[in-house]
Amino acid sequence: MLESKERLPVVVQDDHEVLSCLVARRIADLIREKNARGQTAVLGLATGSTPIGVYRELIRMHREEGLDFSRVVTFNLDEYYPMDPQSPQSYVRFMWENLFDHVNIPPENVHIPDGTVPRAEVPAHCAAYEEAIRAAGGIDFLLLGIGRSGHIGFNEPGTPRHSRTHLVFLDAITRADAAADFFGEENVPLEAITMGISTILEAREIVLIATGEHKAAIVKRAVEGDIHPDVAATYLQTHPAVTVYLDRAAASELTRVATPWLLGEVSWNPALETEAVIWLSLRVGKSILRLSTRDYRDHHLSSLVARYGSAGPINGEVFNRLISKIRGKSKLPSGRRVLVFSPHPDDDVISMGGILRKLVENGNRITVAYQTSGNIAVFDHEVRRYLDFLERGEAVLGGDTGDVRDTVQRIREALARKKPGEVDLPEVQNLKRVIREVEAVSALESVGLGADTARFLNLPFYQTGKVRKDPIGPADVEITLRVLEETRPEIVFAAGDLSDPHGTHRMCLAAVRKALAAYRGPEPELWLYRGAWQEWSVAEATVLVPLSEGELRRKILAIFKHQSQKDKAPFPGPDEREFWERTEDRNRGTADLLARLGLPAYYAMEAYVVEQGGRRVEPSGVPTASLGGGT
């Protein structure tokens, strides 16, 4: 039995949808209990991408199971200040679009801080909000997310424990994370109105949800760290009825997940053995083959070394496991049908530009299916540049372009009137789509593929014109299934990133998995790549593909073909570096880590996880060589 460093109850689920359903079911049970007694259920609600799955499940239960919201009263945690309630970024609009418009809650039962209150009246508004909560009998159930700064609500580092609903200045990290919603950090409000810590802690039951690797570090601090004003979420440790719900990615840095051997006896398996030996090697600063029996015993790994009798056999076993993952060009698939799914029109070259070129050189028949247009990630100035090209190219191209000039002028006027975050005209959305498509074809050509290998799926879930997307639906799965049936792949590549800030990668992977489940052909291997937001660890990866300096440089040049994403990406997420910089650092970092572990020193390396039937497997085809078969 493992001890625990966790100071809060934590539930970890592999599936994000299961996580949302668990929380939604708890809310539904409370509503039904209250309804049965003729009482009001008072809910505290959060916004952002994390709770959307919960709200979708509540809507489903209302429609399909008759869940009755007529007695429900809600209080939202926060709102930007100042904020027009009709703005695309308004939490008022968010809540009505994502929940209230779809259930039978009386409008007068909905309470959200008012971002339009004159500044002089904000203190009185905050006091009235507190009074309304008290008048409703207090909050029965409060749903929270957590920011990378550790905020709950908008209670940023330094917020005192006794705080009530108040106006707060937003932390730089919070504003950076919100930049995508506002199409630029400069458009993010400096302030917000938020429930205070005391207000939150007076709720009778609290649930905190976090998903994605980018939340892992702050989740560990909130759950295992000491209570401190610098991390407002640590105050939850003082509450008697808090549960934290995490997906596997957000839980990845918790001690019981990352280093369970530090908590007590564990049930060893090959994956855990590999994790432990890599951890020990880095901890003591020795290559794997030089680790001693004493190193194991001094670092809580006596039971592991005891399984093998001494350090030598376990060192050799893990070293050989890692060596077997390394696959140079001669040990990669050849002459196979390969289908690459790319969530956006640049994820293919960002994450797998190295192996893609090798697969081309190995004579594989490759199709690249771009799942979304990526059009919202194109700045308006890019459209203006192409419009200017059309006008200046008129004299060269000739012909009657009067209709085009009228359309160009109308688009220019619309862009001039457009507010940050406002949905583009259909013509602008289509122009931005075309820009991304042209860039994608250019990038494919740079790795040796022709334009005929590209498929632009334009999945419907993405076509909202807004940052937030619709859930994956039958039409998305059907379109994905059709390209599977057309290409009948033996190998499928798909994005396994879970930290995409707005969940597009996660939803695209869900569409692929659902389509594969419905596919009637022979089951292909599924190779999952990362790179845009995170990278597979050496222990997690099934295949490690070495790249020479020249190969990495050519991969980066392919990324450069996506000029609309160059210099400054519209949605950089928590990592502000350009995508090519992230790629270079992660690919070189993986290779450097292997060298530190005592394995062959390569210049750079891509990492993949191979699955079949939902299980991780060794890739079929060519057997591995002892040192990876070159680059």
**E strand spans, 68-137:** 72-76, 78-81, 110-111
Tally of CB atoms within 10 A around 300? 18
Residues 466, 467, 471, 476, CA torsion sign: positive
Average of pLDDT values for 129-137?
98
C-alpha distance from residue 98 to each of 54, 471, 524 (Å): 10, 11, 36
Q: Measured over all CA atoms, what is the biggest interatomic distance in the chain, rounded to whole angstroms?
A: 84
CA distance 582 to 42: 45
CA distance 294 to 256: 23
Range of lowest pLDDT (50-59, 257-266, 532-541, 593-602): 532-541
The CA-CA-CA angle for residues 471, 475, 477, to 5°, reads: 80
Q: What radius of gyration, in Å, describes the C-alpha atoms of the chain? A: 26
Structure tokens at 622: 């060519």
pLDDT of 621 > 70? The answer is no
Q: What local confidence, expressed as pLDDT, does residue 263 receive? A: 94
Average of pLDDT values for 274-279?
98
CA distance 326 to 321: 9
pLDDT of 304 > 80? The answer is yes
Q: What local confidence, expressed as pLDDT, does residue 502 receive? A: 62
Confidence band for 478, pLDDT divided at 50, 70 and 90:
very high
Out of 156, 202, 439, 611, pick the active-site residue: 156
Q: What confidence tens digit (pLDDT) does each residue in 438-450 have?
A: 999 999 999 999 9
pLDDT of 501 > 70? The answer is no
Query: Greater confidence, 273 or 573?
Result: 273
Q: What local confidence, expressed as pLDDT, does residue 624 receive? A: 45
Q: What region does 15 belong to: left with phi over 0, alpha with psi -120 to 50, or beta?
A: beta
Q: What confidence tens digit (pLDDT) does each residue in 214-223 have?
A: 899 999 999 9
Work out the percent of the chain whose per-residue pLDDT is above 90.
77
CA distance 17 to 324: 34
CATH code for the structural domain at 16-211+221-242: 3.40.50.1360
pLDDT of 626 > 80? The answer is no
Q: What local confidence, expressed as pLDDT, does residue 186 receive? A: 86
Q: What confidence tens digit (pLDDT) does each residue in 387-421 have?
A: 988 888 777 776 656 677 788 888 998 899 988 77
Average of pLDDT values for 606-620?
88
Q: What local confidence, expressed as pLDDT, does residue 571 receive? A: 64
Q: What region does 609 belong to: left with phi over 0, alpha with psi -120 to 50, or beta?
A: beta
Is there a catalytic annotation at residue 156? yes
Q: What local confidence, expressed as pLDDT, does residue 614 receive? A: 78
Q: What local confidence, expressed as pLDDT, does residue 625 receive? A: 42
pLDDT of 467 > 70? The answer is no
Average of pLDDT values for 510-526?
96
CA distance 529 to 495: 5
Residues belonging to the chain = 631
* 329-378+422-616 carries CATH number 3.40.50.10320: yes
Domain ranges of the chain: 16-211+221-242, 259-325, 329-378+422-616
pLDDT of 131 > 60? The answer is yes
Model's pTM, two decimal places? 0.87
